[in-house]
Structure 1
Amino acid sequence: MACSRCRTLPLSVETRGTLLLTGAVRELIEILIGFLEVEGLDFEDAGLELRLHEANLFEFLQRVRDAQAFNALERRGLSALLLEPGEALSFHSFTRARTLEQWLGLLDACGLIEILEAKRFVSWFQPILSATDGAVVGYESLLRGRRSDGSLMFPGEIFTLAGDNDLLFQVDRQARESALRCAAAAGLQGQIFINFVPTAIYDPVHCLQSTVGWARKLGFDPGRLVFEVVETERVGDLDHLKRILDFYRGAGYRVALDDVGSGYASLNLLATLKPDIIKIDMEIVRGIDTDTQRQSVFRALVGIARDLGIQVLAEGVETQAELAYVVGQGADLVQGYLFARPAPQPPEPQWPTF
């Protein structure tokens, strides 16, 4: 079972309980009391702590936002915590406490929270082709969130909101599970590339159990699944990442590094982690047929990958000239708009005739 961190949402539209409000000094509490009185909200005053019973944190934050009652310093000095019915205040409870500034940020992310609460993540897929003959060898899963009105929230917005509001744990777990469910529903064959964020995983043995469970339940052969590290260049704790990749390998899965070559850390990562596949960043592939600097980086990465027994995937291929170059320089796999765009049910990709 996954831990409560990634299964529990910090803010709910429906949950009611005892709302605890506190501040570093009594002067802040007095300002807060003035706000509660103006809003007509009943509360208990316990000195440096105020209690509102049968309260909804979401509604309270909406009042704070609409009234614009506190300045930035006050919002950072006041904190709130919602105790659910029957829950006793404990030291562990304080891990859920946030400042009003942080809670209001979450309120701005309520669209993402609503998607998470309703479990409305879906995955679209883009084909990955053999550089030898254009045969489809697999698909990358790409996350989308479906809002209540049917419109889509795309990865840039999803992960920005998640990163700013401490929701990466919940997003990453649901995204992995969505990739597996949607791939099975679409009847996709070949390898399935599934993105994950290393910083959203505390301990792979515990945090990844639900993903492994879904893979088994849906009948996926572990050898078909490739778990792909996103934001490869931002990895700060290599030992932690290595434990995660070792866990995946131990379960029979393959691993890939995304966006390789976009910074200076790539070479060390390749030597230390020795992934099965590297995806060379689209910023290197774009216009590579006419850019000698990009060509030098690409050739160097291919040479190192060959020495280490790593497959090379060139991503973001958009023109025949780019394709001709990366194929000629030793790419094993290719991916990009030249062949097919992401879709819920990906179309048959088009392989150019040279």
Structure 2
Amino acid sequence: MACSRCQTLPLSVETRGTLLLTGAVRELIDILIGFLEVEGLAFEDAGLEVRLPDSNLFEFLQRVRATQAFNALERRGISALLLEPGETLSFHAFTRARTLEQWLGLIDACGLIEILEAQRFVSWFQPILAATDGAVIGHEALLRGQRPDGTLMFPGEIFSLAGDNDLLFQVDRQARESALRCAASVGLQGQLFVNFVPTAIYDPAHCLQSTVGWARRLGFDPGRLVFEVVETERVGDLDHLKCILDFYRDAGYRVALDDMGSGYASLNLLATLKPDIIKIDLEIVRGIDADPQRQSVFRALVGIARDLGIQVLAEGIETQAELAYVIAEGADLVQGYLFARPAPQPHEPQWSEFWGSDRR
């Protein structure tokens, strides 16, 4: 069975059902009832619980925010839960309950929720090149969200809203599936780097089931897929991360660690996890040709990667001087705006000037 949490949105702009509201003390219920009466909403008073039949939680929260009827203490003391038609109140249902304060935070993420509900994630692609001759060996899939008006929501906003509103599970699952679907639709060849957030995965055997299923249905050879850990330095549970990476490896996929060099634990992570590829953080690569400190970090990472049989990808390259330095110091792969910006369907590049005119 696939993981249900990553496939269920906490707030829907369309779903209707029985809205349950409760407070820790009767005084809060009285304040709540006063609000419902002013708003002309039908309800049933059951002591420390109020029920609103045929209600939409999103619409209710919009009313609460528009009227500013409750102060911060009251918003934190009143909890809400929507039971869908035919659903009975159970202990498991209570896990979906949140305070009004928490629900109102989700309203600010309604743009992301609409994208998730309509499954309007797409992936753009940036090429990854071999350092030896500039040949394109694959692409990284980079997430974009399509709003109803056609404008795009970019990863910074997507993951900020998701992290603040407990939506990482849903975002991460749809992002992985979008990468596979979009790559297949544009006929990308070579390796495909697919990002994932380790903290959005409970048990890889369940949480990653849909991703593995999509890869099989779309005909991806496991050897073409590289699953890339984002924000590697922020991972707190190395045992859990190792379990996820082992799951991918056992299925025949390769794994990569992103943002290496951005924190203090990079060398220990390499020794513990032994990924197939490491991506050295763009903050290390930026201006590296003229910065001895960045050069020291880069050489240290390359050295231990060599000892462990790990490929090194230098990302964020924007100048020919940066490119020349990372190639001279042992990078296997390169990526950055110097070669191409992310695009929905990248064209075949022509970069012979960076490797010499005799490149075939």
Name the residue aligned to 1:344.
344
| CA distance in structure 2 between the partners assigned to 1:340 and 1:229 by the alignment | 22
1:279 aligns with 2:279: yes
Q: Residue 28 of structure 1: CA displacement? A: 1.2
> Structure 1 stretch 9-18 or stretch 117-126: which is displaced more?
9-18
Q: Residue 153 of structure 1: CA displacement? A: 0.4
Pair 1:353–1:87, CA change in 2 (3 A):
closer
Q: Residue 160 of structure 1: CA displacement? A: 0.5
Q: TM-score, normalised by structure 1?
A: 0.99
Which whole-Å deviations, capped at 9, do the CAs of 1:112-155 have from their partners, x for residues lacking one?
11101111000000000000000000000000000111110000
| CA distance in structure 1 between the partners assigned to 2:122 and 2:211 by the alignment | 15
Instruction: Determine if contact 1:233/1:266 at 8 Å carries over to the other structure.
Output: yes
1:38 aligns with 2:35: no
Which whole-Å deviations, capped at 9, do the CAs of 1:53-82 have from their partners, x for residues lacking one?
111101100000100111111111110000
| CA distance in structure 1 between the partners assigned to 2:169 and 2:67 by the alignment | 32
| CA distance in structure 2 between the partners assigned to 1:250 and 1:294 by the alignment | 35
5 Å-filtered alignment, 1:232-251, equals 232-251=232-251
| CA distance in structure 2 between the partners assigned to 1:341 and 1:176 by the alignment | 20
State the SS of the aligned residue for 2:166.
coil
Q: Which amino acid aligns with 1:235?
A: V
Q: Residue 279 of structure 1: CA displacement? A: 0.1
Instruction: Determine if contact 1:340/1:347 at 8 Å carries over to the other structure.
Output: no
Q: TM-score, normalised by structure 2?
A: 0.97
> Structure 1 stretch 250-259 or stretch 9-18: which is displaced more?
9-18
Name the residue aligned to 2:107.
107
> Structure 1 stretch 26-35 or stretch 114-123: which is displaced more?
26-35
| CA distance in structure 2 between the partners assigned to 1:246 and 1:254 by the alignment | 10
Q: Residue 350 of structure 1: CA displacement? A: 4.2
Which whole-Å deviations, capped at 9, do the CAs of 1:88-132 have from their partners, x for residues lacking one?
100000000001011111111111111011110000000000000
5 Å-filtered alignment, 1:1-354, equals 1-351=1-351, 352-353=353-354
| CA distance in structure 1 between the partners assigned to 2:48 and 2:103 by the alignment | 19
Q: Percent identity?
A: 88
Q: Residue 283 of structure 1: CA displacement? A: 0.2
> Structure 1 stretch 167-176 or stretch 2-11: which is displaced more?
2-11
The list of structure 1 runs, each at least 4 consecutive aligned residues, that deviate by more than 2 angstroms after superposition, is: 347-354
State the SS of the aligned residue for 1:325.
helix
Q: Which amino acid aligns with 2:117?
A: E
Structure 2 residues not aligned, in runs of 5+: 356-360
State the SS of the aligned residue for 1:353.
helix
Q: Which amino acid aligns with 1:148?
A: P
Structure 1 residues not aligned, in runs of 5+: none
Pair 1:312–1:54, CA change in 2 (3 A):
same
Q: Residue 347 of structure 1: CA displacement? A: 2.5
State the SS of the aligned residue for 1:86.
coil
Q: Residue 13 of structure 1: CA displacement? A: 1.3
